Amino acid sequence: MKYRIGLISGDGIGPEIISGARKVLDKTASVYGHEFEYKELLLGGASIDKTGEPITPETIEGAKASDAVLMGSIGGDARTSHWYRLEPSKRPEAGLLGIRKALGLFANLRPAVLYDELSGACPLKAELIEGGFDIMIMRELTGGLYFGERKTTVENGLRTAVDTLTYNENEIRRIAVKAFEIAGKRRGRVCSVDKANVLDSSRLWRAVVEEVAKDYPGTELTHMLVDNCAMQLVRDPRQFDVILTENMFGDILSDEASMITGSIGMLASASLNDTSFGLYEPSHGSAPDIAGQDKANPIATILSAAMLLRFSLDLQKEADAVENAVLKVLKDGYRTADIMSEGLKCTGTQEMASLISERIG
Ligand code: IPM
Ligand code: MG
């Protein structure tokens, strides 16, 4: 079949990892008899440099006309890049927040999986991670502090800034429903994370999640305060199946979860709305320090492409094939520099992508 895939290369290592992932998608298409038609879309710094804006209507339209979008990474070094001399609403990150909002991508899935082959890179003690762990962080992505009103003023000579954390019950309900649906296909446990001992928005969150849980009697719901969750992730990560949480908490907890898997270079993500459309991107940033050097790990982007095949195109065996090819390459002893250990074979970005492609089909 023919599918339309939008490609946002973006900034920093983005173009390299996208070209690696494209290699893998092309191989998948040829083995399974599909046709992928790509459309390059501008976002972030790359868009600022070409159009003066971090996001344009062309990019939003191009994304909407695609079955799914695969993205590299957005942003640069805030200390040195000219993009950060612009006002905040014109910087690269505004493009990322803009596309999430414009496409209604409220559900952000961030799997944190510990691969056996990489358990040596996990900073936790061996007895805490024996048997591995497989956590799905479900982060609400279009509400909360990220999209509430904000302003900076001077009041009585004092510089004052305010950000607001707003959620309505519909915003909470739809992400909770997704979390229960996904938990039902996994180990059937949702841990909802909030700060209900302090915040009104969290008390509403907890109440709505409890209501949704009634429709999923086969799934267990627990609640955890966010500070405790940050601690439990490093104390006993195996206790978690699905973690459901609001935007800002999810931003922070997903970085923490990525660290305990050994390398953020391995973690994929999907941002979904209530259609089959999704935006897929690695959980890591644009790593401007190693951009253009063929050093970046393309695996997170390749695994994001696998999520794209699975969730947006409903190509399950193709997605399995990509994930298995990644496992095989790791078993065969190939590593990029970020996950390298003694006695294994160190490869660059493009070679890693080729090695994975060769193992499909
Ligand atoms: C992420 C990133 C973004 C976020 C930044 C770049 C705006 O950290 O996707 O986790 O905070 O959502
Ligand atoms: Mg983040």
127-176 per-position pLDDT tens digit: 999 999 999 999 999 999 999 999 999 999 999 999 999 999 999 999 99
Probe residue for ligand 1, chosen from 55, 77, 91, 96 as the CB with the greatest number of ligand atoms within 8 Å: 96
Q: Give the tokens for residue 230.
A: 């940050």
pLDDT digit string (tens) for 180-204? 999 999 999 999 999 999 999 999 9
359: Cα separation from own chain's centroid = 25
| Domains of the chain, each with CATH number or no CATH | 1-105+265-361 (3.40.718.10), 123-260 (3.40.718.10)
Q: Per the residue annotation, which of 49, 116, 215, 227 is the catalytic one? A: 227
State the pTM of this model.
Answer: 0.95
Compute, in angstroms, the gap from residue 254 CA to the centroid of ligand 2.
7
Q: Is 146 considered catalytic here?
A: yes
SS (H, E, C) 69-102: EEEEECCCCCCCCHHHHCCHHHCHHHHHHHHHHH
Q: Per the residue annotation, which of 11, 115, 195, 216 is the catalytic one? A: 195
pLDDT value at position 115?
87
Compute, in angstroms, the gap from residue 280 CA to the centroid of ligand 1.
13
C-beta of 251 in contact with ligand 1 (< 6 A): yes
Q: How high is the mean pLDDT of the chain?
A: 97
Whether residue 356 contacts residue 325, with contact meaning beta carbons closer than 8 Å, is answered with yes
Which residue's CA lies nearest to atom 7 of ligand 1? 93
Q: Report which residue type is found at 17.
A: I
Ligand 1: which atom is nearest the Cα of residue 97? 7
pLDDT value at position 263?
80
Non-local CB neighbours of 231 within 8 Å, separated by 6+ positions:
none
**What's the angle, vertex CA 107, arms to CA 284 and CA 216, rounded to 5?**
130
> % helix / strand / coil in the chain, to the nearest 5?
45, 20, 35
pLDDT value at position 293?
98
- Position 361 pLDDT exceeds 90: no
